[in-house]
Structure 1
Amino acid sequence: MQAERADAILGFLALADRLKSVERRGRVVLPDGATRRENSAEHCWSLALIATLLHQDVAGPLDLGRALMMVAIHDLVEIEAGDTFAYDAAGRATQAAREAAAAETVFSLLPPDLGARLRALWEEFEAGETPESRFAMACDRMQGFLQNVLSGGIAWREHGVTRADTAPRMDPAIAVDPAFATLIGRLYERAEAGGLLGPAP
């Protein structure tokens, strides 16, 4: 490997390390009962674990390696664009444009072949048209929902999120495969039993 390529890869990895400082709205409950915001790198790790656990439970052929690559890079744009809360309508209105601009910055730091490869994977995840991207999307949305259940719905309550508010986000994940329908259905049961989602308006 040439020194120039090595330096570009190391520079990109240094940038990617900043994902650890991008905070999400979901909360992590600490052993002493205190909470803090989850960061996007933790989210990606949890998402990768979910994908690893579930890939054999979904119907049809699935390239787990490709799905995991998408999981690893799908939120790198947040280093430049920031995290967009799923229930922030104003933020979501500008999310696509902000993240596309961030993708130009982030992936251009890599050697051209690697930058093009990662950019293509990011675009595949965003488009959601392949089995791997739909699987990764379902894992992504399930992870966010799971994190809210595990933390007692703190972020949901802070923002007045109701079950109806979650449907546009969770219904596409549920539709990916019966395995997701079962798991997310169980999470809804726990959320409702614990009063974690706000009452319908």
Structure 2
Amino acid sequence: MDAARAEALLDFLALADRLKTVERRGLVPLPDGTHRRETSAEHCWNLALLALLLHREVAAEIDLGHALSLIAVHDLVEVEAGDTYAYDPAGRATQAAREEAAADIVFGALPADLGARLRAMWEEFEAGETAEARFAMACDRMQGFLQNVLSEGRAWREHGVTRADTRPRMAPAEAVDPVFAALIKRLYDRAAGGMLPE
């Protein structure tokens, strides 16, 4: 590896490290009973764990390495674009344009061959057309829902999110495989009552 490539890789890793500082709306319960915001990097780790646990549970033949690659890159654009809350219509309306512009910066920081490879993975995740992308998307949606359940629905209540609001977001994940449908149903059951208002 030549010096310029090595420097570019190290600079990109420093850029990607900023994902640890991008806060999401989801809350992480702490041992003392308080909560703090989840970061996008923590979210990606949790997705990777979900994928590891579920890839052999679903009917589709999932290439775990490929699914994990999609998961690793799917939120990298957030180091420039920030996280867009799933239940923020105004933010969602501008999300695609903001993330495309961010992708130019983030993946453009890499040597051209690596930048193209990682951008293609990000685009594959966004398009959701492969089995691995659909699987990764289902893990992504389920993780956000799980995080809200683990924090007793605090972020949902903070933002006035209702059960009806969550249905369109969760339906594509439930449709990926009966395993996701069953797990998400159990999460809805756990969220019954005041955690996720009707």
TM-score class, shorter: over 0.9
Specify the alignment match of 1:137 in structure 2: 137
Are positions 1:96 and 2:96 aligned together? yes
CA distance in 1, matches of 2:174, 2:60: 16
Cα distance between partner residues in 1 of 2:119 and 2:62:
21
Number of the residue aligned with 2:197? 198
Question: 1:150 matched to which residue of 2?
Answer: 150
- Equivalent position amino acid for 1:195 in 2: G
Instruction: Report deviation, 1:9.
Output: 0.4
Does 2:29 align with 1:34?
no
Residue 117 of structure 2 is matched in structure 1 by: 117
Tell me the TM-score normalized by structure 1. 0.97
Aligned residue type for 1:49: L
TM-align CA RMSD: 0.6
| C-alpha separation in 2, matches of 1:163 and 1:3 | 53
The amino acid that maps onto 2:157 is R
Instruction: Give the ranges of 4+ consecutive aligned residues of structure 1 lying more than 3 Å apart after TM superposition.
Output: none
Match of 2:73 in 1: 73
State the identity %.
75
Give the residue type in structure 1 aligned to 2:101: A
Asked whether 1:159 is paired with 2:163, we answer: no
Q: What SS class does the counterpart of residue 38 from structure 2 fall into?
A: strand
Q: Give the Cα–Cα distance (whole angstroms) in 1 for the partners of residues 145 and 16 of structure 2.
A: 25
Shift of 1:198: 1.9
TM, length-normalised to structure 2: 0.99
Give ranges in structure 2 of 5+ residues lacking alignment.
Answer: none
Q: 1:86-125, CA deviations, whole angstroms, 9 ceiling, x for partnerless residues?
A: 0000000000000000000000011111000000000000
Question: Alignment length, in residue pairs?
Answer: 198
Name the CA distance, whole Å, in 2 between partners of 1:91 and 1:153. 21
Output the amino acid matched with 2:115: G
1:174 corresponding residue in structure 2? 174
Q: What is the letter of the counterpart of residue 196 of structure 1?
A: M
Matches within 5 A, 1:48-59: 48-59=48-59
Alpha-carbon shift at residue 61 of structure 1 (Å):
1.3
Q: Supply the AA of the counterpart residue of 1:112.
A: A
2 CA distance for matches of 1:67 and 1:118? Answer: 13
Displacement of 1:172 in angstroms is 0.2
**Cα deviation, residue 20, structure 1:** 0.5
SS across alignment from 1:195? helix
In structure 2, what residue type is equivalent to 1:83? D
Shift in Å, 1:128:
0.3
CA shift for structure 1 position 60: 2.0
